[in-house]
Amino acid sequence: MPVNASGQGFCRDCLALQRAETRRCTACGSPRLLRHPELYSLAIAHIDCDAFYAAVEKRDNPTLKDKPVIIGGGKRGVVSTACYIARINGVRSAMPMFKALEACPEAVVIKPDMEKYVRVGREVRAMMQALTPLVEPVSIDEAFLDLSGTERLHGQPPALVLARFARSVEKEIGISVSAGLSYCKFLAKIASDFRKPRGFSVIGREEAVGFLAEQPVTMIWGVGKAFAATLERDGLRTIGQLQKIDQSDLMRRYGTMGNRLFYLSRGQDERRVSPDHEAKSVSAETTFDTDLAATGDLVPVLRALSEKVSLRLKKAGIAGRTVVLKLKTQDFKTRTRNRQLADPTRLADRIFQTGLQMLSKETDGTRYRLLGIGVSDLSDDGKADPPDLVDQQARKRALAEGAIDSLRDKFGRKAVETGYTFGKGRNAHPPEPLDD
């Protein structure tokens, strides 16, 4: 398909090619035209669903369409997703719920229905996988796609394939996505974020360095609040400033991160889009309605979360060797403790007991607002939970857990409960945690 001349573009609504420099589509009159000199030579895409949880809820309940919608858990939880109307009022994700409601009192707050989001997320992912096998999911609602070499298959260059994809997600699933197209993952991700919602931005090789020079350092993947503060102390705010420093200097100052700064600031990112990007850890956490300090209050939560982690491990056929406990104190300080096991485990009981040992050292009267438990150091579950010479009860407990699992499979999550969580109220049955 000979569509390579620069300045050419297409209409994102009807996909008609645009030859002249018009402001609106010559075929359908839409203003959503996409033009870029490198439009047809770029193949790395990042796709991100717009306000995903909120969009799904709005799709399923049209009366919410024009209302500000916030998805988040409980009184004390945080905002998981805010729709764009709520965002106009200043609501941001990860904001404590009470603040969000201060900013936008008329917002409709909906508890997350993770199962539904996962289902919709899978539908979107299936549509991506129809475009290319190289789909690397980043989270439930975003993914990188490598569309190199798919032009002959689709009879269209990647840019058009993406536009058509965005249109069909809207039509078939009923939510909108934003797409970024570039030559590397780093810039594709920045591009997709650029004109949300329903955005489609392109960053080409020619403009990359110039474009990045204007951007703040926080745009670089891996530069968080703390590291940004370090850079700020050294007088570095924009990526452009980084571009002027040579590699050895950056390495000397910031170690391996300096190396990353060097390459990314120059728009060089060699990371591949790899479909079998494996999870590094599996965890679950919950923020309480009121801060908790007593062991008796924390243990049921720990048990419930351990069961959740275990369930996800079992579903994925993996196991973890390091158990990680996470606590957030009243004054927002995070404590993490971890302990390595002799063998990988996927059993709720093992995760819980290990977590309990770590928790018992932290229940010193400190009030906590958040508790989380997880496992890392993941492997497939073939070697998990081997029989043990010393602990003769281990096998029995594992069998009991298997029986509980099959009962829950058949009759639902609350069909069988251990005494740890039974009748322990809301905290022991926390809403589904954020899955990012």
Active site residues: 142
Please give the Cα distance from 182 to 172 (Å, whole number).
26
Please give the Cα distance from 202 to 194 (Å, whole number).
9
Cβ atoms of 14 and 28 closer than 8 Å: yes
Nearest to 29 by CA among 45, 41, 11, 46: 11
| Member of 24, 116, 252, 383 binding another protein (CB under 8 A) | 383
Told to check if 389 binds another protein by CB under 8 A, we report yes
| Member of 60, 106, 234, 391 binding another protein (CB under 8 A) | 391
Q: Quote the least distance from Cβ 46 to another protein, whole Å.
A: 31
What is the residue-wise DSSP string for 65-102?
TTS-EEEE-TTT-BEEEE-HHHHHTT--TT-BHHHHHH
Q: Quote the least distance from Cβ 386 to another protein, whole Å.
A: 6
From the list 23-31, 132-140, 287-295, 384-392, the region that binds another protein by CB under 8 A is 384-392
For residues 188 and 302, which CB has a smaller minimum distance to another protein in the complex?
302
What is the residue-wise DSSP string for 197-224?
SS-EEE--HHHHHHHHHTSBGGGSTT--
Helical packing angle, 247-254 and 256-265, nearest 10°: 140
Told to check if 306 binds another protein by CB under 8 A, we report no
Nearest to 370 by CA among 426, 339, 332: 332
| Member of 63, 229, 392, 410 binding another protein (CB under 8 A) | 392
Q: Is 48 annotated as a binding residue?
A: yes
For residues 91 and 318, which CB has a smaller minimum distance to another protein in the complex?
318
Q: Any idea what the Cα angle at residue 298 is, between residues 295 and 304, rounded to 5°?
A: 135
Told to check if 388 binds another protein by CB under 8 A, we report yes
> By rule CB under 8 A, what count of residues binds another protein?
17
Cβ atoms of 259 and 282 closer than 8 Å: no
From the list 60-68, 302-310, 359-367, 380-388, the region that binds another protein by CB under 8 A is 380-388
Q: Quote the least distance from Cβ 335 to another protein, whole Å.
A: 18
For residues 34 and 348, which CB has a smaller minimum distance to another protein in the complex?
348
For residues 381 and 435, which CB has a smaller minimum distance to another protein in the complex?
381
Q: Is 291 annotated as a binding residue?
A: no
Q: Quote the least distance from Cβ 281 to another protein, whole Å.
A: 19
**Binding pattern to another protein, positions 333-372, x when CB under 8 A?**
------xxxxx---------xx--x---------------
Told to check if 182 binds another protein by CB under 8 A, we report no
For residues 286 and 354, which CB has a smaller minimum distance to another protein in the complex?
354
**What is the helix (H) or strand (E) element at residue 138, kind and residue range?**
strand 135-139
Beta bridge partners of 210: none
Q: Quote the least distance from Cβ 280 to another protein, whole Å.
A: 18
| Member of 2, 62, 105, 382 binding another protein (CB under 8 A) | 382
| Member of 246, 332, 390, 410 binding another protein (CB under 8 A) | 390
Beta-carbon contacts of 28 under 8 Å, excluding residues fewer than 6 positions away, are 11, 13, 14, 16
Told to check if 276 binds another protein by CB under 8 A, we report no
Beta bridge partners of 336: 326
Nearest to 36 by CA among 214, 176, 256, 194: 194
Cβ atoms of 18 and 29 closer than 8 Å: no
Q: Quote the least distance from Cβ 25 to another protein, whole Å.
A: 53
For residues 214 and 391, which CB has a smaller minimum distance to another protein in the complex?
391
For residues 2 and 382, which CB has a smaller minimum distance to another protein in the complex?
382
CA separation, residue 65 to residues 48, 124, 196, 251, 285 (Å)? 20, 21, 18, 50, 31
CA 20 to centroid of chain Cα atoms = 40
Binding residue ranges: 48, 141
Binding residue ranges for Mg(2+): 48, 141
Interface residue list for another protein (CB under 8 A):
339-343, 353-354, 357, 382-383, 386-392
